[in-house]
Amino acid sequence: MFQKEAIVRLLRDNDPATVTLLKEQLIETGSESIPALRDLLALDDAAVTEHVREVLEKIQTDDAHSEMLIFAHLFPDRGDIEAAWWLLTRCFEPDAPIPKLRRKLDAWGRRLRMLVGRADSHRERLQVLTTFLAEDLGFRGNAEEYYEPKNSLLNDVIETRLGIPISLAVLYIIIGRRANMQIEGINLPGHFIARYERIFFDPFHGGRILSRPDCEAILARQRLKTHSRYFTPASSRLVFMRMLANLLFIFERAGEKQKHALVMSWLKALDRPA
C-alpha cells in the first residue's frame, strides 16, 4: 500500500521529468506489476489513471511483441491462423476485448452451422455462407480506406465489418471452421481469394463466386500467365506471411519506421526454410 501511495504521489508530480522517469521504471518491471497497476485504475484521478493506462499498454504491447517473435519462429506450415491473428491484434491493440470477440465468433459459427445444415449441395452451402457473412452480418471490402492497419486486425474487422481481401478471406475461414466448413485461402497475386470444395469465391466483393476465367483475369491484370501453383490452397504460414507483408507495406507507406522494423523482424522469423 505504501508503494502504491508513493507511485500515485510521483505520478501527480508537477515535474514532467519525474513522471517520465517513474513511468519508464514501471515499464521495466514488466508484467509482474500489472495487477498492482490495474488497482490504481480505480482511483478518481484522471491524470494518474491516464499515466497508468499508458504504462499498462506499453508493458502489454512489449510482451506481445516478444511473444510474436517466438510464435513466428515456431509457426508451422499448418499452424493455427486464428491464434496468429489474435496475437497480431494484441501487438497493436492490447486493450482489444478478445474473449468477448471470440464469443461473438462462436455465436456466428453456431448460427452458420444451423443454416448450412439445411443446404443440399456444396454450392448451396457456400451461398448460405456468403449470404450470412456478406448480407446478414455486412462484411465487405474497405475500398475507401484500403491501406489502414485496422483492416488487418481481427478486432477491428469484426467491429467495423470491413477488411481487405486476405483479412476477409481468413475471417470466412475461421467462421466456416466453426460450422464444419473447410474454407481454403487462395494466394492469387494481387488479390487473395478463397475456395470451398473447389468453388472459388471472393470475400472482398461480397462472396461473389469466381469462374476459372474470372481468376485468370485477375492474373492478367498483374501481367501474369495462368499457372497451377496460383490455385493451390495456401498454407497457414504463407497466409500469415502475406498478412504481415501487407502490414509491412502499410507502415512503410505511412513512414512508421518503428512498426515497420517490428513487422520485418516477425516476417524474417516466419520466412524460414521448411
At 24, which CATH number?
1.25.10
Quick one: what percent of the chain has pLDDT higher than 90? 66
Confidence of residue 179 (pLDDT cuts 50, 70, 90): very high
| 42 lies in the same domain as 107 | no
| 124 lies in the same domain as 35 | no
Q: How many domains does the chain have?
A: 2
- 75 in any annotated domain: no
In this predicted structure, the answer to whether residue 47 has a pLDDT above a threshold of 90 is no
| 137 lies in the same domain as 24 | no
| 215 lies in the same domain as 126 | yes
* 109 close to 175: Cβ distance less than 8 angstroms: yes
* Full 3-state SS string of the chain: CHHHHHHHHHHCCCCHHHHHHHHHHHHHHHHHHHHHHHHHCCCCCHHHHHHHHHHHHHHHHHHHHHHHHHHHHHCCCCCCHHHHHHHHHHHHCCCCCHHHHHHHHHHHHHHHHHHHCCCCCHHHHHHHHHHHHHHHCCCEECCCCCCCHHHHCHHHHHHHCEECHHHHHHHHHHHHHHCCCCEEEECCCCCCEEEECCEEEEHHHCCEEECHHHHHHHHHHCCCCCCHHHHCECCHHHHHHHHHHHHHHHHHHHCCHHHHHHHHHHHHHHCCCC
In this predicted structure, the answer to whether residue 16 has a pLDDT above a threshold of 60 is yes
| 47 lies in the same domain as 93 | no
Taking residues 222-234, what's their average pLDDT? 87
| 39 lies in the same domain as 131 | no
pLDDT of amino acid 3:
78
The three three-digit cell numbers of residue 125, written as one number: 452451402
| 259 lies in the same domain as 161 | yes
- 110 in any annotated domain: yes
Taking residues 225-254, what's their average pLDDT? 93
- 224 in any annotated domain: yes
- 68 in any annotated domain: no
In this predicted structure, the answer to whether residue 240 has a pLDDT above a threshold of 90 is yes
| 105 lies in the same domain as 220 | yes
Q: Note down the domain range covering 42.
A: 2-63
pLDDT in tens, 140-155: 999 999 999 999 999 9
In this predicted structure, the answer to whether residue 1 has a pLDDT above a threshold of 70 is no
| 144 lies in the same domain as 39 | no
Taking residues 56-62, what's their average pLDDT? 84
| 57 lies in the same domain as 168 | no
Pick 50 or 30 by higher pLDDT.
Answer: 50
- 74 in any annotated domain: no
Taking residues 112-119, what's their average pLDDT? 94
pLDDT of amino acid 167:
97
In this predicted structure, the answer to whether residue 139 has a pLDDT above a threshold of 90 is yes
pLDDT of amino acid 170:
97
Lowest mean pLDDT among 68-72, 234-238, 269-273: 269-273
End-of-domain residue from the set 63, 96, 113: 63
Confidence of residue 273 (pLDDT cuts 50, 70, 90): low
In this predicted structure, the answer to whether residue 199 has a pLDDT above a threshold of 80 is yes
| 48 lies in the same domain as 100 | no
| 198 lies in the same domain as 107 | yes
End-of-domain residue from the set 33, 63, 93: 63
